Amino acid sequence: MVGSHETQGPGAGADGTGGRFAGGTAGRVPGPLVRDLSEAELLARIVPLLPRGETTIVPSGDDSAVLGLSDGRVTVSTDMLVEGVHFRRDWFNGRDVGWRVAAQNIADAVAMGARPRSLVVAMELPGDVPVAWVADIARGLAEYCGPLGCGVDGGDLVSGSHIAISATILGDLEGRTPLRRSAAAPGQPLIHCGNLGRAAAGFELLNRGFAPDRGAFPDAATRLMQDFLRPRPPVPAVLSAVRAGLRGAMMDVSDGLIRDAQRIAAASGVHIDIHSETLNRHAQDLLEVARHLGRSDPLEWAYDCVLSGGEDHGFLATMDVSPERAWGARIPHLPEGFSLIGTVEAAHPAGLVTVDGRAWNRGNGWDHFRRTSQTLN
């Protein structure tokens, strides 16, 4: 697989299976099913709904799309969504799935400092999936990609036994040096842009049987569920920062703040310390829901979500400034939308992450292949 995005999901399915979710079944959607149409007929329903990118010269329809990018260097990243692992149809509608496919792939391009230009999407579809649901995937892709000027420029359709969607994003560095995980250095401030913990809290609500449209919970809960179903990476803010000269390490936070900070620490050979008081506003946003869920220690649960929850798709970065300016009265001006959450303390050969100077032992985020690391049930 090409690209740097590892895994998705803040926790395991409640059924104890290897998947991200329990199975879920699709509700009936009016109209024909996938098996009722030929590939050409299905494509005719989908392609007109997709946006054409600002740099797309030859769009979907030929053997390959053709782009005219401003930089000879292009970032490439691939990511997948699989039903029963990353989504279930009794939680997600087609638009939600299309939105999520686009958002999580585009976040990977932006994490390298690249402008997203073209998304290519391949889908495996069972015959009993309603065509209207598949068309809604296209609409969700368009809703997310269109405002960013990113095209959806082709892909592939195959029949199969379950829904699986693979997307590849091409990003334009626009003449800049890519931002890599290995660029963190001692003395640099650790900064973040976007949500923390909201998707993990939304997942728990859905896993408890709540739904955004049932109106049986506070408005805060509905917003959290929507943040899980449709992550909102702060793409314009990050692109503005890199165009203004942000340099250092950066990555998309998809698997939890602790786990992804560990990836930067390991790649850069440094010790990163996260300062918990800087995360208080994120934790406070979750307290009302924590109390309604009956959590014995709402603040502890909120911090667990903030530090170990995944799928918010914010951005974690360091700033390449002199060590004496990394903290205190001479702290550098932060890019708009970013907040200071810690420091790169020192070199560390294996990479180390601490919270307030201490090891974090309450769960390290999501990993598909180490079931014991999961924190949500």
Output the known binding site for Mg(2+). Answer: 63, 77-79, 108, 156, 252, 255
Whether the CA torsion 326, 331, 336, 337 is positive or negative: it is positive
DSSP class of residue 88 equals -
Tell me how far apart the alpha carbons of residues 218 and 327 are, in angstroms, rounded to a whole number.
Answer: 38
The owner of tokens 């310390």 is: 273
For 238, list phi and psi in degrees, rounded to 5: -70, -45
What 3-state class would DSSP assign to 334? coil
Output the known binding site for substrate. Answer: 86, 311, 366
Nearest to 49 by CA among 115, 121, 111, 125: 121
Tell me how far apart the alpha carbons of residues 151 and 47 are, in angstroms, rounded to a whole number.
Answer: 11
Helix H, strand E, coil C: the string for 254-278 is CCCHHHHHHHHHHHHCEEEEECHHH
Residue pair 158/59 in contact (Cβ under 8 Å)? The answer is no
What 3-state class would DSSP assign to 104? helix
What pairs with residue 115 in β-bridges? Answer: 172
Type of residue numbered 6: E
- The DSSP bridge pattern shows strands 164-172 and 74-82 to be antiparallel
Output the known binding site. Answer: 63, 77-79, 86, 108, 155-156, 181, 252, 254-255, 311, 366
Residue pair 125/157 in contact (Cβ under 8 Å)? The answer is yes
- The DSSP bridge pattern shows strands 151-159 and 115-125 to be parallel
Which residue stretches of the chain are H helix? Answer: 39-46, 94-111, 131-145, 198-207, 219-229, 235-243, 257-268, 280-284, 287-292, 298-308
Output the known binding site for ATP. Answer: 155-156, 181, 254
Nearest to 163 by CA among 228, 80, 244: 80
- Residue partners of 167: CB distance under 8 A and separation at least 6: 78, 79, 80, 101, 102, 105, 119, 120, 121, 122, 155
